[in-house]
């Protein structure tokens, strides 16, 4: 018997709340507090989110310092985003008012340039946030830097987790489990996974890992019979279940990913779906049923063609949507892998799709938002240019869509300036 996706999300949220030191440490259900929102699913709770618009319909558009690919995160009345300056590698953490985009503060951090992939940036990793702190992550060859700031921009702590080795730079994002900050560090040098005290940055646990290709995925939480476990993906270890309380390895499927892991894993029903690839092409995707108690994890099905490499899959309503780098978009039945439809968009993608009200929103590298019907029937609803390239994944919070281009942040929908209404007339929703 499988567990409905919505129930999984509610259970994970409840277990995070129980793990938190006090209620204020957990953000609201309508916030978007990590890469791809609730448990990395890409599923938004918005209602009346627009499916078509023009620039005149933007609630606000704000220029950001530098450029970047990090997605925005939203907690309460604040939006946080990370950027970097190409010429100097200076990093920026910017906090804006959710209502009107006004910049509340902008912190700059000196850094040094280094070689990375031509499509990477010095502002690629998405922050994690709760209602007290925002946590940011970036690397140089000499330092894996993790910082905690309060919501006024004051630095609470900073950790150097050691050097970082990769020909392409870094890109994984941190996540929170109650009072624990989780940081993945699968790289081409000494690798490990970290559980840090959110309040102080002190190491609660460290799990040493084998060294292989750098991994860019962000972990997720899976409910178990006794609580929750973290699930990490990498080429060196495949798929790994970790106890967040102790760092103990619960299980591992070592042969899951023979190529580089870039996209993040997702959890829906009782399946974990993840992919890997090389040369800009997805090479293998697996749907894995993790062990309930005792038996090993097993692969339910796998695909080897027309797959995403950088974009993360999305599952909802018993359907699995695969949005590939080359514009191939496919819909499968989640439980069996059966193909429902496959179509081709004339564009290319790095950002991952997000979902709201049976619609998918995906932003191309050229900065075009493609809106598709997230049903068993393919329908291209709209293709909406943003005027600038974008490698970032959208965020959905407070009935609004937040779109990050290379140098700007755009908010569409949600409340109007007076806090009432959906921000767009009915014919634009």
Strand partners, 197: 180
DSSP character at residue 5? H
Mean pLDDT along residues 313-322: 98
The Cα 314–Cα 39 span in angstroms is: 12
The beta-strand segments (E) located in 186-270 are: 191-197, 203-209, 220-224, 227-234, 238-242, 249-253, 266-268
pLDDT at 16: 45
Look at residue 237 and give its three-state secondary structure.
Answer: coil
Give the span between the Cα atoms of 314 and 38, in whole angstroms: 12
**Residue 18 exposed, middle or buried by CB count within 10 Å (0-12, 13-18, 19+):** exposed
- The pLDDT of residue 116 is 83
CB 371 within 8 A of CB 51: yes
Q: For the chain, which residues make up each domain, given as ranges?
A: 5-428
Average confidence (pLDDT) over 111-136: 89
Q: Is 259 exposed, middle or buried (0-12, 13-18, 19+ CB in 10 A)?
A: middle
Q: Is 154 exposed, middle or buried (0-12, 13-18, 19+ CB in 10 A)?
A: exposed
CA distances from 91 to 53, 121, 175, 298 (A): 32, 10, 20, 42
Q: How confident is the model at residue 226 (pLDDT cuts 50, 70, 90)?
A: confident
State how far the Cα of 58 lies from the Cα of 400, in Å rounded to an integer. Answer: 10
Least confident of 13-27, 71-85, 165-179: 13-27
What is residue 12's predicted lDDT score, i.e. its pLDDT?
52
42: CB partners within 8 A, 6+ apart? 36, 266, 312, 314, 352, 353, 354, 355, 393
CA distance 328 to 323: 6
Instruction: Check pLDDT > 70 for residue 35.
Output: yes
pLDDT the model gives residue 27: 61
Residue 365 makes CB contacts below 8 A (sequence gap 6+) with 347, 348, 349, 350, 389, 390, 391
Tens digits of per-residue pLDDT, 328-380? 999 999 999 999 999 999 999 999 999 999 999 999 999 999 999 999 999 99
Q: Is 24 exposed, middle or buried (0-12, 13-18, 19+ CB in 10 A)?
A: exposed
CATH superfamily of the domain spanning 5-428: YVTN repeat-like/Quinoprotein amine dehydrogenase (2.130.10.10)
Confidence label for 2 from pLDDT (cuts 50, 70 and 90): very low
Q: For 259, how many CA atoms within 13 A lie in the half-sphere containing its CB?
A: 20
Question: pLDDT at position 423, please?
Answer: 43
Are the C-beta atoms of residues 173 and 392 closer than 8 Å to each other? no
Q: What pLDDT is recorded for position 28?
A: 72
At residue 422 the predicted structure's pLDDT band, cuts being 50, 70 and 90, is very low
> What b/e readout covers 47-63, taking b as 16+ CB neighbours within 10 angstroms?
ebbbbebeeeebbbbbe
59's tokens: 């609630």
| Residues whose CB is less than 8 angstroms from the CB of residue 202 and which lie 6 or more positions away in sequence, other chains included | 196
How far apart are alpha carbons 93 and 366 in whole angstroms?
A: 24
pLDDT, tens digit (0-9, with 9 covering 90-100), for 4-19 = 444 444 445 444 443 3
- Distances from the Cα of 236 to the Cα of 257, 259, 391, angstroms: 8, 9, 26
Say which residue, 181 or 291, is predicted with more confidence.
181
249-253: strand order across its sheet: 220-224, 227-234, 238-242, 249-253
Q: Could you tell me what percent of the chain has a pLDDT over 70?
A: 90
- The whole-angstrom separation of Cα 310 and Cα 350 is 6
Predicted confidence at residue 167, as pLDDT, reads: 84
Q: Give the whole-angstrom CA distance, residue 418 versus residue 429.
A: 19
Helix (H), strand (E) at residue 6: helix 5-19
What band does 294 get if pLDDT is binned at 50, 70 and 90? low
CA distance 305 to 385: 29
Asked if residue 276 lies in contact with residue 9, where contact means CB atoms within 8 angstroms, the answer is no
Q: What are the structure tokens assigned to 157, written together?
A: 């702590």
């Amino acid at each position: 018997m499988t567990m409905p996706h919505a129930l999984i999300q509610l259970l994970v949220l409840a277990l995070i709340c129980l793990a938190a030191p006090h209620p204020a440490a957990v953000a609201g259900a309508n916030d978007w507090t990590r890469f791809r929102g609730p448990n990395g699913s890409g599923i938004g709770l918005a209602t009346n989110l627009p499916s078509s618009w023009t620039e005149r319909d933007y609630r606000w558009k704000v220029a950001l310092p530098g450029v970047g690919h990090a997605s925005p995160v939203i907690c309460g009345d604040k939006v946080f985003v990370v950027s970097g300056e190409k010429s100097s590698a200076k990093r920026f953490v910017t906090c804006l008012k959710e209502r009107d985009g006004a910049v509340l503060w902008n912190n700059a951090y000196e850094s040094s340039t280094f070689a990375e992939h031509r499509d990477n940036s010095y502002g690629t990793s998405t922050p994690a946030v709760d209602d007290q702190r925002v946590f940011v992550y970036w690397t140089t060859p000499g330092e894996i830097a993790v910082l905690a700031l309060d919501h006024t921009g004051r630095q609470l702590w900073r950790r150097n987790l050691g050097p970082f080795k990769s020909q392409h730079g870094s890109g994984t994002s941190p996540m929170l489990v109650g009072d624990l900050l989780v940081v993945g560090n699968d790289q081409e040098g000494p690798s490990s996974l970290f559980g840090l005290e959110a309040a102080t940055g002190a190491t609660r646990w460290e799990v040493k890992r084998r060294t292989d290709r750098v991994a860019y995925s962000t972990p997720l939480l899976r409910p178990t019979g006794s609580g929750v476990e973290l699930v990490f993906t990498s080429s060196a270890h495949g798929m790994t279940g970790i106890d967040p309380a102790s760092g103990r390895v619960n299980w591992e499927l070592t042969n899951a990913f023979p190529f580089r892991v870039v996209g993040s894993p997702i959890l829906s029903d009782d399946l974990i779906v993840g992919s890997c690839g090389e040369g800009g092409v997805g090479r293998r995707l697996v749907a894995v049923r993790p062990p309930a108690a005792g038996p090993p994890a097993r692969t339910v099905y796998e695909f080897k063609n027309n797959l995403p490499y950088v974009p993360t899959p999305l599952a909802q309503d018993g359907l699995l949507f695969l949005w590939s780098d080359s514009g191939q978009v496919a819909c499968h039945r989640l439980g069996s892998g059966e193909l429902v439809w496959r179509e081709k968009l004339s564009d290319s993608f790095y950002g991952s799709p997000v979902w709201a009200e049976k619609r998918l929103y995906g932003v191309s590298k050229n900065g075009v938002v493609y809106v598709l019907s997230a049903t068993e029937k393919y329908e291209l609803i709209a293709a909406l240019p943003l005027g600038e390239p974008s490698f970032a994944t959208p965020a959905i919070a407070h009935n609004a869509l937040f779109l990050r281009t290379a140098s700007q942040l755009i908010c569409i929908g949600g409340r109007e300036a007076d806090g009432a209404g959906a921000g767009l007339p009915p014919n634009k929703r």
